[in-house]
Structure 1
Amino acid sequence: MIINSYNDIPYFSCKAAEIRPENKTDHFGTFVAAGESFTIKIVNAHSDDERFPRVWARVELIDKVAKDRVDDYACKVAAKAIADPAFAPVKVDLRDGETAYMKTWTCRYPDDEAMDAFIMQAKDFIEAHIGELRALSAPAKTPPDDLPFLEDLLSLI
């Protein structure tokens, strides 16, 4: 990638995260929220077969969820999004439960200020809700083997 100056690199002057280009269409960055480091990926998804150019940004929140919990977890996150607008940008990949805070811009690309605003929203969300998301994505607790089963309890009655 040949550039005339650092000013030609999108998101180089963002203040909410340190973002650097990976290639002509992909940018990666990191920021700290809730005492942890999070990664943001920004992709310019314009191609010849798409009518409108678009840019999407995603912050990975949960890497994966147990296969037997993905559907239940995704439904719980969707219900949260209906009840609380703060959850609206949260998306769950139904294949593996990967969860990201995402936004897509179409036609009008975000400038550094708009990207900073998105990252600040993601930081605020993480500060307020990352524990809740992790609790929702945790494996279901199974009773220890030494606890009596329901039939055993019912037979006592």
Structure 2
Amino acid sequence: MIELIYFSKAGNSKKAYQLIQPRRGEPWQIVDGDELIGELQQMQGLWKLRCQGDIPEGMCKDLAMLIESQQFNQLPEEIKTHWPGKVLEVIVINDAEYLVICQPKTDLERFVKVFAAYVPHLLKDEWAILFKIYDAEMSEDFEVTVQRGKA
């Protein structure tokens, strides 16, 4: 599950909304207090809003921008770009956990050492992130927990 907080500045008042994505790929739930007021989902590059309550004008665009700016949307591609010959796929479980699947014939132990030393420099989030690193056959794995700037 991923949770974000959106602060609305409608008029002179400020209000906080929760954005909750129970599982990757599912719509984002827009919650006001304890009331579900809508769902937001990206389909074919466009954001679709289903309202179940009052949502201020322009909020859909702001919510989409907030979601798109989060590191869990960019980090998988950054990792694959940094290690193109070693990383086959990066899968986001949530904003604090990722699966990294290596290319065939990658020396996994060696890669894990290099990955653990460098990946903290790619992180923007403040919290610890768990990377579960697998070989291409998913038969061998390592877990690495890192935090921004802390190798």
TM-score bracket, normalised by the shorter chain, equals under 0.3
Q: TM-score, normalising length from structure 1?
A: 0.26
> Whose strand proportion is higher, 1 or 2?
2
Q: TM-score, normalising length from structure 2?
A: 0.27
> Whose helix proportion is higher, 1 or 2?
1
Larger Rg: 1
